[in-house]
Structure 1
Amino acid sequence: MTYPTGPYLAAAPDDGYALEPEPQHGRAMAEAIPTWRPRDLTDVLDGTYRAPEPTIGRRDDGVGLFYPGRVHSVIGESEGGKTWFALLAVCSELAAGHAVVFIDFEDDAPGVVGRLLALGADRTAIRERFAYIRPEEPLGANFNRNEIATALHDLRPTFVPIDGVTEGMALHGMELKDNTDVAKFGRMLLRPIADMGAAVTTLDHVTKDREGRGRYAIGGVHKLNGLNGAQYVLENRTPFGVGVTGKSTVRIAKDRPGQLRKHALSHSSGLHWFADFTLRSHDQTFTEGSLYPPIEQQGPFRPTSLMRKVSDAITGAPAPLSVRGVQDRVTGNKDAVRQALARLVDEGFVSVEAGPRGAQLHKLAKPFTEGASNDD
């Protein structure tokens, strides 16, 4: 796809950027709207103001995922489904007749477009209303600002995913852990695009520390603080891959406009359970993706996360473990660990055998996955 000469991202005095018309015949660029001027509050005071609604992308029941004109983030472990999650929203927007611009600092065009086709996206829609951008030099080099601004101006996308924020910042000589650089990257690329009305969504990695990562992506905390849309955390339950069915739990870590949590269920972690993301891969060319709404727990509580940790501890031990041995290897409340172990035994995932001096020793009877049960 080629684009004619058009608008471009013009540098602003605060190291940010704004979409401005290309200068013609030496005419000075249009003066930016003064942001320090008091805002008109008429619509708020007279009751005509309407709060933002998430209308970009869709859960299976029709609930939207992202807010137009705002900056969002999807974070998770490597190969946890972040890009697939974003591409489901891309397919939804293309099917609705909208346009998408995908900015990718990690993959390549065949990889991304191949996934779209596997998800069933229409080839004509991709050709006419999907632009793929793979930056390999900074935005300020050559005519790059003009190129991306022209694509945005011509397509007027509703959705702009940005994959590989870490690599994008490094490309611009910015320090990942420096909150000032995180803010600068947002002003340089994310906010100007959102100001055009698109839902901008960065795809980012979480820290390696499972216990301490909480709501944060790797790097400066401003990655979360600077968002004015939503942030989703993808907790992988079953690995994704060709020919297998992968699953991740989708949780809400931040919802600035406050319209998403009412469609989610609360969780003890403080991160609301928004969806179950399932990706069923039949082969390289056919993949089914679903975002199921959360369902209230029926019956006794099943501590699946803790059960997985207990199962992993037993698997990694050189010999069968006593209850004390399991508790020594799994962090958390000891009673809760004991209950998770008992649940694994009850469901047939862990077997018990007699040990020395009356000890009960536990070993794995069959692999544990969150969606499995003793009936499998």
Structure 2
Amino acid sequence: MTDTKTAPGSGGAPPDRVREANGKRKKGLGFLTASWEIRDASGEVQAVHERYETGGEESSKKCLWRLPGGTLKDGLKGREIASLPLYGAHELDSEAMLVIVVEGEKARNALEEALRKAGITREQVVVVGTVTGASGTPSREVLEVLRGLEVVLWPDADEPGRSHMRRVAERLQGVAALVRIYHWPEAKEKDDAADHPAVISGGEKAMDQLLDDLCGAREYEPPEPEKPEGLKGRVLIGELLRGGIEPTPQLLDGLLYEGRIHSIASGPGTGKTLLAEWMAIQIMKQALSILYIDAENGPKLIAERLQELGADIEGLDELFHYYPAEVALDRESLARLMATVEQADPALVVFDSFADLLSIAGLEENSNDDCTRWMRTVAQPIKDAGSAVLVLDHVPKNGKGPRGGGSKRAKVDVQWNLEVTQHFDRERTGEIELKHDKDRECWLPKIVRFSVGGGVFARSAGTIEEMGPPTELTTLQREVYGYIRKRGAEGAGWGDILSGTGGSKGTLSSTLKKLVRLNLIEKDNGRYYAKRTEPEKPVDTPDSQGSVRFNRGSVEPDRTGATVGVQYGSPPLRGEPTEP
């Protein structure tokens, strides 16, 4: 027997019988009523399972584990119970005709004793017990001792017991030669093998009948694996085309898309931070907010530049959310960043600059894996939240594309490269040129130029820039507006307007956006509706090349090419910040 000490009738013994088991009593636990040694297949003791009962009228019991020679306080010292051998595994016979697996040591000993009393040998039937309790499951390594054998699982008569043996059966697939699960129809709730009448009586005839029932138990059949539902979120492309595909809205005409990731790469002193702040001002003019994460300039220089570029000082604290860079990649830091995005609800998030931000995060600029990780964990969630992202980056010494890992370009939707095409400084107006070598949406112009320096930052001729609220519509704008008015309360979808006016996709997108800004139309649930009659006063009109002639106040660089923008009093585009 594997029991070293067992109280007579210990499976629910009366209080006076508990004391008869053993005179040993532990403070706070009661009397030791049973102790089971759990041995591996070689017979070596791996653990000891002990049961204590308090006795008395309100007797309670508690089962505890310890290592051989160890204490109850130390327990198993971190060893998982699922890794303990099956109780009785050392008595397994590889030639046995049948192995019965029950739950627990008590049930195993009762059934083992009844089989031997009935003259059934271990060469015929061996009994083992699981020791994990109904909530656990022996590991696959533990169940390897049953490889190639015919196994019958006898669960306790309750749902936890049945679930326990189903899990054992699943783990025995491909291990045991055959697995059956025995169902005892007359069992009461929570009965186990020790409660079966044949086991209690030990009669030879009754045990033979029980053995026949066990051998005739239904073979376990693994449940059919659930068929995967397939991919979710299918988009009906035909339906999408029938409704008309509207181009991605632009946050800043010809420069930035709404909700996309952009990068501007350039060398030092080329004006990329100044350009980013100018973009921020144009967006704030639309009453949209900016989140600016700065690792390169500091708040004083950023503030001076914004002032020189004509930012509305009164509105800055409401719309311009500036933070010194503290963007690490730990969970807490990323959570704070996304909480700030939620609170500020920015149309654009600017990161200045990429190399410094990678360093703060402990990443390498030349590592594709590190660049990809930053984009995936920082920029992508912001894009998913609906904000546009602008990352300011540096170029290598050869001046071709962003510096460092090549995955930078792969992870952005728009890659702008910024170059100085005509020298500028505090006194002289020159020119910078944006040229994209990636535009996933393919709606932005290839080149955009700006006049800069000498107190000027302005977008050059050939690009569209408003100087004030327009008071006249172009021919196409008038035609589109008229078409939408005719549709009345029905409104018109983007595809309807495209076919109804015969315009191109690109010009229609900018035309609709312009009409919305003029408060002539509104967009609701993908359809456009007229709001009021158009203004009648004349304004600037396109020239023969399709560029817009602007009001007075435009400036020119030191070479041919009219520009529009703001003039300011000789800002320190290079060198030290101005004195407060």
TM > 0.5: yes
| Contact 1:278 1:291 (8 Å CA) reproduced | yes
For residues 126 and 241 of structure 1, the distance between their equivalents in structure 2, rounded to whole angstroms, comes to 27
Match of 1:41 among 224, 227, 235: 235
Deviations 1:269-310 (A, max 9, x none): xxx3x221112343xxxxx32122549xxxxxxxxxxxxxxx
**Structure 1 stretches of at least 4 aligned residues deviating more than 6 Å after TM superposition:** none
| Contact 2:349 2:390 (8 Å CA) reproduced | yes
Match of 1:56, SS state, is strand
**Distance change in 2, residues 1:72/1:137 (3 Å):** closer
Shift of 1:65: 1.3
TM-score by length of 2: 0.38
| Contact 2:429 2:558 (8 Å CA) reproduced | no
Identical-pair percentage: 25
2:443 is the alignment partner of 1:248: no
Shift of 1:255: 0.5
* Counterpart residue number, 2:323: 133
Shift of 1:157: 0.7
Shift of 1:162: 0.9
| Contact 1:54 1:65 (8 Å CA) reproduced | no
For residues 199 and 81 of structure 1, the distance between their equivalents in structure 2, rounded to whole angstroms, comes to 21
* Counterpart residue number, 1:221: 406
Match of 1:90 among 256, 268, 280: 280
* Counterpart residue number, 1:53: 248
Match of 1:144, SS state, is helix
Shift of 1:131: 0.6
For residues 38 and 293 of structure 1, the distance between their equivalents in structure 2, rounded to whole angstroms, comes to 48
Asked which structure has the greater CA Rg, the reply is: 2
2:311 is the alignment partner of 1:121: yes
For residues 385 and 450 of structure 2, the distance between their equivalents in structure 1, rounded to whole angstroms, comes to 29
For residues 327 and 559 of structure 2, the distance between their equivalents in structure 1, rounded to whole angstroms, comes to 47
* Counterpart residue number, 1:204: 393
TM-score by length of 1: 0.58
| Contact 2:334 2:378 (8 Å CA) reproduced | no
Deviations 1:193-219 (A, max 9, x none): 111111101111111114xx2xx2000
For residues 147 and 98 of structure 1, the distance between their equivalents in structure 2, rounded to whole angstroms, comes to 21
**Distance change in 2, residues 1:52/1:163 (3 Å):** farther
* Counterpart residue number, 2:377: 188
For residues 260 and 379 of structure 2, the distance between their equivalents in structure 1, rounded to whole angstroms, comes to 9
| Contact 2:327 2:357 (8 Å CA) reproduced | no
For residues 328 and 312 of structure 2, the distance between their equivalents in structure 1, rounded to whole angstroms, comes to 32
Aligned length: 237
* Counterpart residue number, 2:346: 157
Shift of 1:232: 1.1
User: Counterparts of 1:319-338 in structure 2 under 5 Å?
Assistant: none
Unaligned 5+ segments in structure 1 are 1-35, 58-62, 265-271, 283-287, 296-369
Match of 1:160, SS state, is strand
The amino acid that maps onto 1:277 is F
2:447 is the alignment partner of 1:279: no
For residues 194 and 137 of structure 1, the distance between their equivalents in structure 2, rounded to whole angstroms, comes to 16
| Contact 1:81 1:240 (8 Å CA) reproduced | no
* Counterpart residue number, 1:144: 333
Shift of 1:247: 1.5
Shift of 1:132: 0.7
Unaligned 5+ segments in structure 2 are 1-229, 464-556, 561-580
For residues 97 and 225 of structure 1, the distance between their equivalents in structure 2, rounded to whole angstroms, comes to 32
| Contact 1:131 1:151 (8 Å CA) reproduced | no
The amino acid that maps onto 2:274 is W
Shift of 1:49: 5.9
Supply the RMSD in Å over aligned alpha carbons.
Answer: 2.4
Shift of 1:145: 3.1
Match of 2:251, SS state, is coil
